[in-house]
Amino acid sequence: MIELLVAAFAAPLVGVAVTFTPKGREHALWVLLAAALATTGATIGALAAGPLDAPVAFLDRYFVADALSRLLAVTISVVFLGVALYTRHRVLTAPELRPYLVAFTRLSLPFLSASLAALLGQHLVLTWVFVEATTLTAAPLICHRADGDTAVAWRYLMFSTVGLGLVFLGFVCLGIAIEGAPGETRFLVDELGAAAARPSVWRRIGLALVILGYGTKLGLAPMYAWLPETYDAAPPSVTTLLAAIQTSVVFLALMRVLQVYRPLEPELTSYELVGLGMASMVLSTVHLVAATNYKRLLAYAAMNHNAVVAVGLGIGKAAIFGVVLYLTTNALVKAILFLACGNIKARYKTKSVAELRGLVDHMPYSGALFMLGTFALLGFAPFGSFLGEVLIMGGLMEANHAVMFIAFAVLFTVVFIATGRSLFPMIWGELPSKVDWRGESAGSILPTLVPLSLLLLIGVSIPSSIDTIFEHAALAMGGAR
Amino acid sequence: MILALVFFFIFAIPIFFASWRLMLASLGVQTLVLALVTLQHAHDLRHAFAAFELGVVRGVFVPTYLAHVARSSRTASQLEVLPGNLLHWTLAFALVVGSATFAAEVSLADVPRAFDVAASASEVLIGFFILSTQKQPLGQAIGALSLENGVVFLETRGAHHLEIPVQVGIAVVFVLLVLQLGWFLRRLAAEATPPGAPATNGAGEVL
């Protein structure tokens, strides 16, 4: 299993090295696809290989393969495969994008490697290093095309630097809190417990800063302004990398911190996460109601999802199974929606909700995918996001947060109405005048087919093997089924 | 105590001179001073690497590289990282006082630590203040680096030190971050300034 995970990490880096050869440069698209396929195969193999209930630490215990990291590794590699297939489709249908292919390959493959390393990291500061590495590869991707918005990419970099700077400051404070502990203590999840258990004001300050910093990286209030503008301005493939992959990675990095510190500071963790989550839910809902651009609307929906996960994490034990399910399914939902958005934008050259009508008639494949993605986004059964939401709300009731439960339900209803009001006419509405659109090729659905299949598999039945994976993943994070 | 005061004043005094060169130099000198102090107590590889990172990477490479980028982007020499008016200076002073009060509160009887915390917190908060008030990319980069220096000071003065592989990782991503800041500064300046135009402040405003 460890060999497979190392292979999954190394395959994208080998791909990058190949692009520096003349042949590799010429065939960058195939290099991208081959690396994505190899990584997906290796992560699926690693998930199936070993027992789920016993985490395996490796490389001097800096990394760990437990149920959740292996599950998320499969999720992000499947999403990345979708992005690679989408890139292939776009380059074949729009040859003017071909000059950007090499740069995209050289930046997106290290992004994938860094994401996998961060998922597998159990050293809290080393994980932070890999999260920072994902940021550094993502920032130039946002504006790698000639028409890219450099100012937006710069603001993304600044917000990320501040957020991750706060996280590092938090770790410095947590380091002060464990000064004087007997022996040498490393920031390893399975080693920190005894040293961290000593009560200290530095522990509270450090934990609060880490949560605030990672919250900034997740686009939670108060420092959320970068998220909607970045998701809107970036090319759809890059938006998918950020919304589906980076978000999962940052959440897992935060969950690793909570694994150690939640039992020691339950109230601080709960109040801060629930507070940040609820504030972000309110803000994203207000923006969602006012959105007139479908990509920005989806960006606010993504922010809303992050807020829901933050609230679930804040509640803890009772909601963790829902959090794991919601996190996994939402990565897939965002991949489907943002990649479908890319097809729609490429065809209609607009992001305005008002200018689009009758997608299922004019773009049968992308329209249908967009419709299914919207259903999943809104939490319709049988998609896994529905079950995740129900479990998180159940956790709220179980933890006696009745007021929070009501606020949650009201906000969900407003989001449902606002999103439906904007997106449903796009899907089924009729155009004022008949337009003769060219037929859409079936190749356009290939990128989203794999995430959609996985999403339906999780949602419709949850086969017992997948259910076991989720159960062990939740248990690894201190949750209960 | 002396080190904390020296560290703080090396940063605080150049703010009044409205020059990006001086600001970048002050950030470099701050970490060079820290590197010298770390080197004096370097009794293992971790301390030696920390001193190298502070001195060579943060003390020499960062200011030299960013100054080179700013010069080649034809950035005008005048840059007020904090607007020169009573309101902003009062707010900055309040942040320093707030930091000192916070440090006294959390460090209790440990006076040297209280000074370290006050110096670090002041620089972090002023870094935030610069970031929130600056419109110019170079000014924002200086704000972000001030924040970084404040954090590094507290880390260096603490007794818990990270392992070599983690320190190397942090140094590598920091170098990549600075290289990327330079890449973005060049690109933003090129987009804001058409060829042959007079020098600007980096946000496209002609000075």
CA distances from A374 to A222, A378, B3 (A): 27, 6, 58
Evaluate if residue A211 carries a pLDDT over 90: yes
pLDDT at A431 over 70: no
Res. B202 pLDDT band, cuts 50 70 90: very low
Which residues in B lie closer than 8 A to residue A173 (C-beta atoms)?
A: 154
Q: What's the rounded mean pLDDT across residues A14-42?
A: 94
Q: What does the pLDDT look like over A229-277, one tens digit per residue?
A: 999 999 999 999 999 999 999 999 999 999 899 989 989 999 999 999 9
CA distances from A9 to A224, A377, A381 (A): 30, 30, 35
Alpha-carbon radius of gyration of chain B? 18
Q: Each residue of A387-425: pLDDT tens digit? A: 888 888 888 888 888 888 899 899 989 998 998 888 888
Q: Which residues of A97-111 are buried (b: 16+ CB within 10 A; e: fewer)?
A: beebbbebbbbbbbb
One-letter amino acid of A51 = P
Distance between CA B104 and CA B119 in Å, rounded?
A: 12
With tokens 């607009």, the residue in question is A350
Please tell me the distance in Å from A133's CA to the nearest CA on chain B: 6
Poorest-confidence range of A12-16, A152-156, A474-478, B42-46? A474-478
The minimum CA-CA distance between B85 and chain A, rounded to whole Å, is 25
pLDDT (0 to 100) of residue B158 = 83
pTM of this structure:
0.93
Q: Kindly report the nearest CA distance between residue A202 and chain B, in angstroms.
A: 8
Q: H or E element: which one contains A246? A: none
- Give the CA radius of gyration of chain A: 21
CB within 8 Å of B124: residues ≥ 6 apart: A169, B146, B147, B150, B151
Average pLDDT over residues A290-317: 91
pLDDT at B206: 42
Residue A229 or B76, more confident: A229
Q: Nearest CA to CA, how far is A179 from chain B (Å)?
A: 6
β-pair partners for B19: B78
- Cα dihedral sign, A243-A246-A250-A256: positive
Per-residue pLDDT for B189 more than 50? yes
pLDDT, residue B207, reads 39
Residue A368 neighbours by CB under 8 Å, 6+ apart:
A360, A445
Decide if A179 and B188 are in contact by the 8 Å CB cutoff.
no
**Are A179 and B177 in contact (CB < 8 Å)?**
no
Q: Which helix (H) or strand (E) holds A64?
A: strand A63-65
Compute the average pLDDT of residues A188-195.
Answer: 85
Residue numbers in A near B151 (CB within 8 A): 165, 168-169, 172
CB contact under 8 A, A126 and B147: no
CA–CA gap between residue B36 and residue A228 (Å, rounded): 44
Do the chains contact at A150 and B162, CB–CB below 8 Å? no
- Taking the domains of chain B in order of start, what are their residue ranges? 2-190
Question: Comparing A428 with B94, which gets the higher pLDDT?
Answer: B94
Query: What residues contact residue A217 under an 8 Å CB cut-off, 6+ apart?
Result: A131, A135, A160, A163, A164, A167, A250
Strands A63-65 and A56-58, sheet pairing = antiparallel
> A231 and A296 in contact (C-beta within 8 Å)?
yes
Cis (ω within 30 of 0) for the bond into A199?
no
DSSP A437: P
Which residues of chain B does A129 touch, with a Cβ-Cβ cutoff of 8 Å? 166, 169-170, 172-173
Quick one: average pLDDT of B81-85? 86
Mean pLDDT of all residues in B167-178: 96
Are A185 and A234 contacting, i.e. CB atoms less than 8 angstroms apart? no
**In the predicted structure, residue B203 carries a pLDDT above the cut 70:** no
Q: Give pLDDT, residue B199.
A: 54
Burial grade of A349 (CB within 10 A; 0-12, 13-18, 19 or more): exposed
- Say yes or no for a CB contact (<8 Å) between A162 and B183: no
The distance in angstroms from the start CA to the end CA of chain A is 26
CB within 8 Å of B200: residues ≥ 6 apart: B74, B75, B76, B189, B192, B193, B206, B207
Which of A260-264, A286-290, A426-430, B122-126 is predicted with the least confidence, judged by mean pLDDT?
A426-430
Q: Tell me what percent of the residues of chain A surpass a pLDDT of 70.
A: 95
Question: Could you tell me the pLDDT band of residue A479, with boundaries at 50, 70 and 90?
Answer: low
pLDDT bracket for residue B151 (50, 70, 90): very high
Which of A8, A51, A77 has its CA nearest to residue A465? A51
Calculate the average pLDDT of chain A: 88
pLDDT 10s digits, A64-108: 988 889 989 999 999 999 999 999 988 988 888 888 999 999 999
Closest CB from A132, A172, A205 relative to B173? A132
pLDDT digits 0-9 by tens, B44-65: 888 889 999 999 999 999 999 9
Residue A423: which of A365, A379, A363, A358 has the closest Cα? A358
**Among A101-115, A365-379, B95-109, the range of highest mean pLDDT:** A101-115
Residues of chain B neighbouring A169 (CB-CB closer than 8 A): 124, 150-151, 154
Distance (Å) from the alpha carbon of B184 to chain A's nearest alpha carbon: 7
First to last CA, chain B: 41
Give the rounded distance of the alpha carbon of A271 from its chain centre.
Answer: 23
How distant is the Cα of A165 from the closest Cα of chain B, in angstroms?
Answer: 7
**Shortest Cα–Cα distance, B170 to chain A (Å):** 6
Distances (CA, A) of A185 to A174, A221, B156: 12, 33, 17
Q: What are the angstrom distances between the C-alpha of A33 and each of A419, B151, B162?
A: 34, 41, 38
* Residues on chain A touching B176 (C-beta within 8 angstroms): 133, 136
Nearest to A151 among B173, B183, B188 (CB): B188
Count how many pairs of residues, chain A against chain B, have C-beta atoms within 8 Å: 83
Kindly state the tokens that stand for A111.
Answer: 């992004």
Do the Cβ atoms of A162 and B163 come within 8 Å?
Answer: no
Contacts of B191 in chain A (CB under 8 A): 150
Judged against a pLDDT cut of 80, whether residue A182 lies above it is answered with no
Give the C-alpha distances (Å, rounded to integers) separating A109 from A31, A38, A105.
10, 12, 6
pLDDT at res. B123: 94
pLDDT digits (tens, 9 = 90+) for B19-43: 899 999 999 999 999 999 988 877 7
CA proximity to B11, closest of B103, B121, B132: B121
If pLDDT is split at 50, 70 and 90, which confidence band does B108 have? confident
User: Band of the pLDDT at A191, cuts 50, 70, 90?
Assistant: confident
Please report where in the chains the tokens 């320093």 appear, as a residue: B96
Closest CA to A108 of A129, A87, A89: A87
Per the CB < 8 Å rule, is B188 touching A186?
Answer: no
Which tokens is A275 given? 């507070």
CA nearest to A134 within chain B: B173
- Helix (H) / strand (E) containing A56: strand A56-58
Cβ distance of A136 and B169 shorter than 8 Å = no
Answer for the pair A177, A196: CB distance below 8 angstroms, yes or no: yes
B contacts of A114 (beta carbons < 8 Å): none
- What residue in B sits closest to A174 (Cα-Cα)? B160
- CA A404/CA A394 separation, integer angstroms: 11
- Choose from A172, A188, A216 for mutation: most chain B CBs within 10 A: A172
Rounded to the nearest angstrom, the gap between the alpha carbon of residue A98 and the centroid of all alpha carbons in its chain is 27
Q: Which residues contact A4 (CB under 8 A, 6 or more apart)?
A: A42, A43, A45, A46, A49
Contacts of A136 in chain B (CB under 8 A): 173, 176-177, 180
Whole-number Cα distances in Å, A19 to A27, A107, A112, A468, B64: 8, 11, 16, 40, 31
With an 8 Å Cβ cutoff, are B173 and A136 in contact? yes
A159 and A225 in contact (C-beta within 8 Å)? Answer: yes
**Chain A residues touching residue B166 (CB < 8 angstroms):** 123, 125-126, 129, 187
Mean pLDDT of A194-220: 92
